[in-house]
C-alpha cells in the first residue's frame, strides 16, 4: 500500500516541480501574470504548500495587487508564525497598500504594518531588510501616529551593527529626509568609503542633483565609473550635463560613448541618450544637430511626449 501511495504521488510531485521552475523563470522575466496563473494551480492543489504560497504572494506584489499579496503572506504567518521573513513580507504588502489608498484608509492600516515589521525584527535580530523598513517607516510617519526620528535612528544603529554600509546609508537617508543635506552627504560619503557599491554612489549623486549641485554630481558619477567601469555611468553623466546646462562638451562625449558601447544591460534605451544629446546641442544653440538627435529619439520611441515637446522647443530656436 505504501509503495502504491508513493507511485500515485510521483506525478503530482513532478508537476509541482515543473510549475515551480516555470513560475520562477516567469518571475525572473517579469511575466508576473503568467507566474500567478501557474502558482495559483499549485496552491489550489495543496493549500499547505508554503513555497507556492510565498511565490504567489510575490507574484501578486510585483503586480501591485497588495490585498492579494497580503492574504498569501498572512497564510504563511498562520502556518509558521516564527518566521521573520513572512512578517516582513506581510508588513511590506500592507505598507504598499497604505501608500495606494486615501489617508483615512491608510491610517487604519499603519498599525498592522508597524506590528508586522516589529515582529519580524524581534524574531530575527539580523534581518537587515526589516530594519531598513523600520528606519523608513518611523521617518515617514507623522509624529501624531507614531513617527519618530529617534526610533528611526535606533534601527539605523542596529543596521550599523549588522552592516556598516547599511548603517551609513540609513543615517544618510534620515538626514536627507529631515532636510539636513550636509549631514546626509557626510554619511553617504562614509558609505562609499566603506562599501563603494553602485547604490552608495547613486545615493550621493541623487542628493547632489536634488540640491542642484550638478558639478558635484558629475564628479561623483565619474568616480563611480572609475571604480565600476559601467557604460551606464556615461549616460548618467550626460544626463546631468544636459539637464543642468553644465560641462556640455563632457556630456556630449559621454553620451556618444554610451551609444557606441550600448547593450541591453545598460538599462536606459539609446533613444534617451539621443534626447539628451539633443538637449546639449540646444544649449549650444546648434539647431541642426539638436534636430538630428531629437528626430532619432522620436523614430525610436514615437509615443514619448517629452521628445515631441523637446522638438517643438528646438524648432523655436
Q: 218-255 pLDDT, tens per residue?
A: 999 999 999 999 999 999 999 999 999 999 999 999 99
| Half-sphere exposure for 188 (CA within 13 Å, toward CB) | 24
Smallest Cα–Cα separation from 274: which of 35, 262, 59?
Answer: 262
Q: What is the mean pLDDT of the chain?
A: 91
Q: Distance between CA 126 and CA 120 in Å, rounded?
A: 10
Per-residue pLDDT, 30: 86
Smallest Cα–Cα separation from 131: which of 186, 169, 185, 74?
Answer: 169
Q: Distance between CA 183 and CA 164 in Å, rounded?
A: 17
Better pLDDT: 277 or 12: 277
Per-residue pLDDT, 8: 43
Per-residue pLDDT, 113: 92
Residue in this structure with the C-alpha cell 504567489, named with its chain if needed: 56
Do 170 and 133 meet the contact criterion of CB atoms below 8 Å apart?
no
Burial classification of residue 196, based on how many CB atoms lie within 10 Å of its CB (0-12 exposed, 13-18 middle, 19 or more buried): middle
- pTM, whole model, 2 decimals? 0.85
DSSP E strand stretches across the chain? none
Q: Distance between CA 35 and CA 51 in Å, rounded?
A: 13
Do 275 and 291 meet the contact criterion of CB atoms below 8 Å apart?
no
State pLDDT tens for residues 99-148: 888 888 888 898 999 999 999 999 999 999 999 999 999 998 877 577 89
End-to-end C-alpha distance for the chain, whole angstroms = 86
Smallest Cα–Cα separation from 72: which of 88, 62, 86?
Answer: 86
H helical segments located in the chain: 2-28, 32-45, 50-62, 66-79, 84-100, 103-123, 128-140, 149-162, 164-177, 181-194, 198-210, 214-228, 232-244, 248-260, 270-283, 287-300, 305-315
Do 66 and 97 meet the contact criterion of CB atoms below 8 Å apart?
yes
Residue in this structure with the C-alpha cell 565619474, named with its chain if needed: 222
| Half-sphere exposure for 88 (CA within 13 Å, toward CB) | 18
Do 247 and 239 meet the contact criterion of CB atoms below 8 Å apart?
no
Amino acid at each position: 500500500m505504501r509503495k502504491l501511495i508513493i507511485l500515485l504521488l510521483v506525478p503530482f510531485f513532478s508537476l509541482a516541480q515543473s510549475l515551480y521552475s516555470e513560475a520562477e523563470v516567469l518571475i525572473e522575466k517579469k511575466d508576473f501574470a503568467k507566474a500567478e496563473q501557474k502558482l495559483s494551480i499549485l496552491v489550489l492543489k495543496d493549500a499547505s504548500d508554503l513555497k507556492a504560497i510565498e511565490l504567489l504572494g510575490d507574484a501578486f506584489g510585483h503586480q501591485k495587487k497588495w490585498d492579494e499579496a497580503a492574504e498569501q503572506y498572512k497564510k504563511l504567518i498562520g502556518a509558521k508564525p516564527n518566521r521573520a521573513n513572512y512578517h516582513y513580507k506581510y508588513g511590506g504588502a500592507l505598507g504598499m497598500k497604505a501608500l495606494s489608498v486615501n489617508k483615512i484608509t491608510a491610517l487604519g492600516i499603519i498599525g498592522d504594518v508597524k506590528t508586522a515589521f516589529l515582529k519580524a525584527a524581534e524574531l530575527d535580530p539580523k534581518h537587515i531588510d526589516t530594519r531598513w523598513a523600520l528606519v523608513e517607516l518611523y521617518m515617514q510617519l507623522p509624529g501624531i501616529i507614531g513617527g519618530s526620528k529617534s526610533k528611526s535612528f535606533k534601527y539605523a544603529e542596529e543596521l550599523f551593527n549588522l552592516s556598516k554600509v547599511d548603517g551609513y546609508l540609513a543615517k544618510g537617508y534620515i538626514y536627507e529626509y529631515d532636510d539636513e543635506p550636509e549631514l546626509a552627504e557626510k554619511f553617504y560619503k562614509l558609505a562609499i568609503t566603506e562599501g563603494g557599491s553602485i547604490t552608495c554612489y547613486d545615493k550621493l549623486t541623487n542628493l547632489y542633483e536634488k540640491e542642484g549641485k550638478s558639478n558635484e554630481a558629475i564628479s561623483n558619477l565619474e568616480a563611480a565609473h572609475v571604480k565600476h567601469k559601467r557604460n551606464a555611468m556615461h549616460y548618467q553623466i550626460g544626463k546631468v550635463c544636459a539637464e543642468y546646462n553644465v560641462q556640455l562638451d563632457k556630456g556630449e562625449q559621454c553620451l556618444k560613448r554610451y551609444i557606441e558601447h550600448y547593450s541591453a544591460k545598460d538599462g536606459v534605451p539609446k533613444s534617451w541618450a539621443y534626447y539628451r544629446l539633443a538637449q546639449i546641442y540646444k544649449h549650444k544653440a546648434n539647431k541642426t544637430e539638436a534636430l538630428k538627435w531629437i528626430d532619432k529619439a522620436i523614430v525610436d520611441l514615437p509615443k514619448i511626449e517629452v521628445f515631441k515637446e523637446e522638438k517643438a522647443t528646438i524648432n523655436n530656436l
